[in-house]
Amino acid sequence: MIPIVAIIAACLISLGVTAAMRRYALSRQLLDVPNERSSHTISTPRGGGVGIVAAMGGLALTLPWLGSTSVSLALIFGVCGGFVAALGFLDDLGHVPAGWRLLGHFAAATAAVWLAGGLPEVVVFGYLLPLGWIGHVLAVFIVVWMLNLFNFMDGIDGLAGVEAALSGAIGGLLIVAFAGMRHEAFWLFAVAAAAVGFLKWNWPPAKIFMGDAGSGFLGFIFGIAPILAARIAPALFWVMLIIPGVFVVDATVTLVRRLLRGLRPHVAHRSHAYQYASRIYAGHRAVTIVCGLLTACWCGPLAWCVASGRLDGALAVLVTYTPLIGLALIHKAGAPELQGR
């Protein structure tokens, strides 16, 4: 009963805090003002992702005392995730140099991976690979990359919120279906519920943007999720990499193509596939809906095939990502931006 109430509470807290944050941002003129690198055309309050962070932080503070989650998970989501969110919020208010942000991300990721117990053996094409300390280092880089790619992908109305809601819900359902109701599943359901509360204010046309506090926090959660899931069952490691495939592919293809052209990765731009698509199709809503459908109808079923043992995890990642890479390239991910386009 407590987990159900907590999940509902996560949605309501996120809904209320986001509304309060919108009023605060308007009163303090914390606005995202459109420029040549923006995907929006009107000044909009930012920092709404604080609602998601507040909801998850509240659960992290209370649920261990009720015996509804482990202390280590509460520390991962409450302390490590909260630290990432705080860095993002400071950047929303002013500016935190990219180097210091990245150092903080690695510190939070390292602490979270240690609290999770590190990355255990991974099954690759049917072979069990005991990675040892290399696996732990790989896990830290997975968390840091997911953390940053959510930030990169939070560029049009509703997109990051929809991806978080679907990834959390699908991931939680697959853990429950094949491993039982575990604490890890509860946390995924909770973040999905918090994302739904936030979406009330962020659905196109957005009344408030997520900001770095929320996008970094969500990226952190979905970065640590594969490591936590792998400790339940090796196949679930791949499941948690497959579900957010739309985000992983667009962000990675864009970054690689920009790096190959000698561009700095942290400089703002509008060359993600979803950004080109929002200009091609003249709006955010259609792109957000299509990305959500790809997650639910393409990534979700393939993740289910892996969780149920019908498909090898590493092979399923290739199967999932390959057409998504094609879509990203068709929509010019990482291509040079032309003036006015």
Task: Centre a 10 Å sphere on the Cβ of residue 30 and count the other Cβ atoms it contains.
Answer: 17
278's CB contacts (< 8 A; 6+ apart) are 39, 156, 284, 287
Contact 276, 254 (CB under 8 A): no
User: Strand (E) positions, the chain?
Assistant: 31-32, 44-45, 122-124, 127-129
- From CA 50, how far away is CA 58, in angstroms rounded? 12
Q: Is 312 annotated among the ligand-binding residues?
A: no
State CA 238 to chain mean position distance: 16
The one-letter code for the residue type at 277 is: A
- From CA 235, how far away is CA 246, in angstroms rounded? 20
- From CA 260, how far away is CA 134, in angstroms rounded? 27
- From CA 175, how far away is CA 183, in angstroms rounded? 10
Q: Is 250 annotated among the ligand-binding residues?
A: no
For residue 17, give Cα distances in angstroms to 24, 55, 157, 192, 217: 10, 8, 18, 16, 16
- From CA 248, how far away is CA 321, in angstroms rounded? 9
- From CA 310, how far away is CA 178, in angstroms rounded? 13
Contact 190, 5 (CB under 8 A): no
The owner of tokens 């519920």 is 193
Write out the binding residues for Mg(2+). 151, 212
Write out the binding residues. 151, 212
